[in-house]
A and B are shown apart, each in its own frame.
Chain A
Amino acid sequence: MASTEPIILGLEGTAHTAGVAVIQGPQIHANESATYFPPQGGIHPREAATYLTKQFPILLKKIFQKLQFKPDKIDGIAFSQGPGLGPCLRTTATVARAISLKLNKPLLGVNHCIAHVELGRTITPANDPLVLYVSGGNTQLITFLNGRYRVLGETLDIAIGNALDSLGREMNLPHPGGPHIEKRAQQGKNLLLLPYTIKGMSFSFSGMVTAAKKLIANHSTSDICYSFQEYTFAILAEATERALSCTKKGSVLLTGGVAANVHLQNIIKLVAKEQESLFYVVPRNLAGDNGVMIAFAGTHLLKTGEIIPIQKSQVKPRWRTDQVQVGWIS
């Protein structure tokens, strides 16, 4: 192990995914995750938390078996401190505290949204991009400005992934709906009329879901999927282009679970081209929630000395992206 980079254990658990990873610099030593799929309906916070409680010991065991070195070589324990579902966050924090005490290693509280950004900055060439972060729980346009990650635009109600899942459920597609809608949309031919809501660089999707649900009785599932993607992605694209044009960042990074959608990738690629900017996207296997991103962000926290004592490691369910002091970028 020639690298002088610290070895970080990352624990992700903000909603339906339990993720554990060990990284060193940009190198991933081990990465395991398990995702909760509700038997019906959406995610119930308590049931998701119960699932995490069961999964963490299994995942940790797998991780420690895979490592080529002893756990005491780990330099820091990073965990998703927020934002997210309270019960899930508390479960994850409990696991993190226990490991931190057992190994006697510093605890690092990571902001989940920023972790998605740092993942992109670590494994793609993006350095100071405009970030379009799209997932089941969040949809934000983020960029670094004056010491913090600023949210230039965001959803005013529900996240894009949540919108896709909710429409998918209504059409009896399995959870999560996003990938199924993407697949069905490829067979869609007719563009149905839906509202187009954009407010500067912000947007809202719940009205569009309602409008799309009303189409179910009279139109094919594939046409609805196709139209819903065309409209919502056009809105995200337009907001992204506006933010690129305002900030003149010169590059776009697409991250978060919905970044795995190839159609969205192609659209944002075209936006980048319109603004003569570079386009980056996180790899598919790391687009959704995972421990790697938490560990990458945790590395920065360890280096800038932002270690939290256990007494101050309460979870932050409403922790916003722009509340974090970013000491690792100058």
Chain B
Amino acid sequence: MKLIQAEKIAKGAEAVIFKGTFLQSPIAIKHRLPKSYRHPDIDNRIRLHRLRSEAKVMTNARKIGVSVPSLFGVDIEDHILIIESLEGKLLFEEMNSLPIDKLDPIFVNLGHQIGLLHSNDIIHGDLTVFNVLIQLEDKLSIIDFGLGKISNELEAKADDLLTFYSTLKAIQPASNILFNTFLEGYLSVYPEGKNTYEQMKKIQSRARYIAREDRLE
């Protein structure tokens, strides 16, 4: 009998995803294939580095009680991660269908989870509305730690906030309210996060053509 049964379901930017079962639990297999568009040396370096960080970050996040898929296995040689497969809808989809008052508790909870990650020096690296899975009401999981890392650097944490703010802004113009809700949750579990927020504004001010109304005061 095969231990693992799986079939290809999606091709993401980072990897090909297979879904199946492992000892009857639903799993996702994330296979980082080489990218034809980058130099093989850069490609190998990046894929190996990210595989290791992703495994480490997911394990650490789970330990501190943040809802992330569990890690079942790592195959360093073939660049494969075997992780728990979670059901749910992307926050991106929910933002298009749910009214704003239903989104409020989601953003507070998301703020909590990210605050918890940051207070433990865990960086998501690609914190967008495409990487948050809404399961029930305000129950959510954070997925895809492909660009994750362990770091106590203020800049890295601030990058997480800025990435989240920017993608939020990109899909919903009236997103300042939602971001503030997120920030409330974030600061409630991670009071030092006010420094992260200050740093985020600094990074933002380095960018080109930030309109006055978009500058966070």
**A interface residues with partner B (beta carbon < 8 Å):** 83, 137-138, 145-146, 148, 150-157, 159, 191, 196, 198-202, 230-231, 233-234, 237-238, 241-242, 244-246, 267-268, 270-271, 273-275, 317-320, 322-323
Contact = CB atoms under 8 A, between A and B. Distances in A.
A238 B207 contact: no
B170 A196 contact: no
B199 interface: no
B38 A237 contact: yes
B37 A274 contact: yes
10 contacts: A151-B170, A156-B207, A199-B147, A200-B128, A234-B38, A234-B42, A237-B37, A238-B35, A238-B38, A320-B210
B170 A152 contact: yes
Size band of the interface chain B makes with A: 35 or more
A233 B39 CA distance: 10
A271 B128 CA distance: 21
B126 interface: yes
A196 B46 contact: yes
B41 to A, nearest CB: 5
Nearest to A323: B211
B167 A200 contact: yes
A244 B130 CA distance: 13
Contact of B166 (A138, A148, A202, A231): A202
A199 B206 contact: no
Contacts of A191: 39, 41-42
Contacts of B41: 191
A320 B39 contact: no
Contacts of B13: 238, 241-242, 244-246, 275
B37 A150 contact: no
A145 B42 contact: no
B179 to A, nearest CB: 15
Contacts of A151: 166, 170
Contacts of A156: 162, 203, 206-207
A230 B209 contact: no
B130 to A, nearest CB: 5
Contacts of B42: 191, 196, 230-231, 234
B115 interface: no
Nearest to A145: B171
Contacts of B45: 196
A246 B211 CA distance: 26
A320 B214 contact: yes
Contacts of A270: 35-37
A200 B144 CA distance: 11
A156 B159 CA distance: 10
A155 B208 contact: yes
Nearest to B207: A156
Contacts of B139: none
B159 A159 contact: no
Contact of A271 (B37, B147, B210): B37
B127 interface: yes
B169 to A, nearest CB: 8
Nearest to A153: B166
B163 interface: yes
Nearest to B156: A199
Contact of A200 (B11, B37, B38, B147): B147
